[in-house]
């Protein structure tokens, strides 16, 4: 079966539209993927900041606890020293 010249041009035009559609879909998928990756990156940055803040919070709490323990030890030592000085 042979196609007329008009039919051939029409078939070429349809093929061209199919290729254009494929390219447009591919570009759209690439854009969506890039957007998703940017969102993941931003989410990861937020989570990293939260983790850093939590680490800083835990370190601060640890320092506070250590200072309270040191103060308690000093008080206990003073009490022992006072108890040793008093006659029995």
Tell me which of 4-18, 36-50, 70-84 is least confident.
Answer: 70-84
Tell me which of 12-16, 28-32, 57-61, 78-82 is least confident.
Answer: 78-82
Better-predicted residue by pLDDT, 24 or 88? 24
Q: How many helices (H) and strands (E) does the chain have?
A: 1, 0
What does the pLDDT look like over 27-63, one tens digit per residue? 999 999 999 999 999 999 999 999 999 999 999 999 9
- Measured between alpha carbons, how far is 27 from 81 in angstroms, rounded to an integer? 80
- Cβ(74)–Cβ(81) below 8 Å: no
């Amino acid at each position: 079966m042979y196609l007329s010249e008009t039919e051939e041009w029409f078939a070429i035009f349809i093929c061209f539209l199919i290729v254009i559609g494929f390219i447009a879909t591919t570009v759209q998928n690439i854009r969506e993927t890039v957007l998703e990756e940017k969102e993941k990156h931003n989410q990861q940055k937020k989570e990293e900041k939260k983790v850093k803040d939590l680490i800083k919070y835990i370190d601060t709490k640890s320092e506070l606890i250590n200072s309270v323990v040191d103060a308690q030890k000093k008080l206990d030592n003073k009490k022992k020293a006072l108890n040793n000085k008093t006659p029995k």
